[in-house]
Amino acid sequence: MEAMENEQEITVAATIEQIPAISDFIERLMSHAGFDLRKIMEVQLAGEEACTNVAKYAYPGKEGTIHIVARVHGERLVLIIEDHGIAFDPTTHIVALSQADTKDRPIGGLGIHLIRCYVDEISFEFRDGKNVLTLVKNRA
């Protein structure tokens, strides 16, 4: 198969109301690149959870933005989510998942767990004053 390259980006206000715009952005790119619906929903979920955490916690008491770059490179989708908010590394956040503490588990933990479940790779760096979260989804 010929390697397919496509890159798009979007900047939205860091609010939960922007989740549909982010989901539509992900769906358009992945659908165009031929990913199946299931994979698209998995990435939408990971993207929503990451952006929800930014909307809730990154900019306390002030407005901010989320910048997303989505790149399809061959059989991989790379989603880079950036914000200028409080530094937070979700890749090192400890998520407790035992049944006993399910009721009291912080919701942020749920979201981070879902991100980890539904992407193939996750990495984070704090660079130039920005949180940069990179999520990778393989086609197969």
Residues of this chain that bind other proteins (CB under 8 A): 16-17, 19-20, 23, 38, 41, 44-45, 48-49, 52, 55, 97-99, 102-103, 107, 110-111, 113-114, 117
Cβ pair 19, 52 in contact under 8 A: yes
Q: Write down the least CB distance from residue 109 to other proteins, Å.
A: 9
Q: Which residue has the tokens 């715009």?
A: 21
Closer CB to other proteins, 16 or 87, in the complex:
16
Closer CB to other proteins, 92 or 98, in the complex:
98
Provide the Cα torsion 49, 51, 52, 58; round to 10°: 130
Cβ pair 116, 126 in contact under 8 A: no
Closer CB to other proteins, 76 or 108, in the complex:
108
Residue 50: partners with Cβ closer than 8 Å, 6 or more residues away:
81, 90, 111, 115, 133, 135
Closer CB to other proteins, 69 or 114, in the complex:
114
